[in-house]
Amino acid sequence: MHPNRIKPKPGQESVWDYPRPPRLERSTDHIRIVFAGEIILDTNLSFRILETSHPPTYYIPFSAFKEGVLIPVPGASYCEWKGEANYYDIRLGNKNSERAVWGYKNPNNRYPDLKNTVSIYAHKVDACYVNDEKVQAQDGDFYGGWITSNIVGPFKGGEGTWGW
């Protein structure tokens, strides 16, 4: 079963208009991430991955995070488009969020700008903001997209959506 596309209003994007394979685009959106009550990232430098049926996934320069909060952890996964992903915990004081962040040390040739950037699961921190709007996390633990009011779906990730 395929979902019924929500028609975007002016100023909105439909995830059903995003391409496959995904497109990487530079973004100047203001990104802010709060963890353990503190801002651990505040930047206007990022990339968005746009893929059919998924809300945008933001990739942010590793260097933009508060120093020392990203802790490398063992394990990897593989994306057919981007390559092998490595993972990080977020640690601040006595608070820890396991495998909350991922990135590609050696991304596939199609996405060289992803090198030295990471993405974050919005549901594993206090809050993520795009242009001061608190994002809603994409359902499920697989994709990590960020939903804002200017993005319409329906979105892959929740129960019953794997066959889309």
pTM for the model stands at 0.95
- Domains of the chain from N-terminus onward: 28-152 (2.170.150.40)
User: Given this model, what pLDDT does residue 3 score?
Assistant: 84
The 95-103 sheet, strands edge to edge: 23-27, 46-50, 57-61, 117-120, 95-103, 83-92, 70-79
Give the chain's mean pLDDT.
95
User: Given this model, what pLDDT does residue 161 score?
Assistant: 87
Hunting for tokens 């968005």 — which residue is that? 48
- DSSP letter at 158 equals B
User: Given this model, what pLDDT does residue 1 score?
Assistant: 58
Q: Please count the residues of the chain.
A: 164
From residue 13, give the alpha-carbon distance in Å to each of 17, 52, 124. 8, 11, 25
String of DSSP letters for 45-71: -EEEEE-TTS--EEEEEGGGBPTT-EE
For 76-123, how does the pLDDT look when each residue is reduced to its tens digit (9 = 90+)?
A: 999 999 999 999 999 999 999 999 999 999 999 999 999 999 999 999
User: Given this model, what pLDDT does residue 143 score?
Assistant: 85
Residue 72 has pLDDT above 80, yes or no: yes
Instruction: Please give the average per-residue pLDDT across 6-28, as a whole number.
Output: 97
Supply the Cα-derived Rg of the chain in whole angstroms: 15
% pLDDT > 90, the chain: 90
Tell me whether the omega of the peptide bond preceding residue 21 falls within 30 degrees of 0, making it cis. Answer: yes
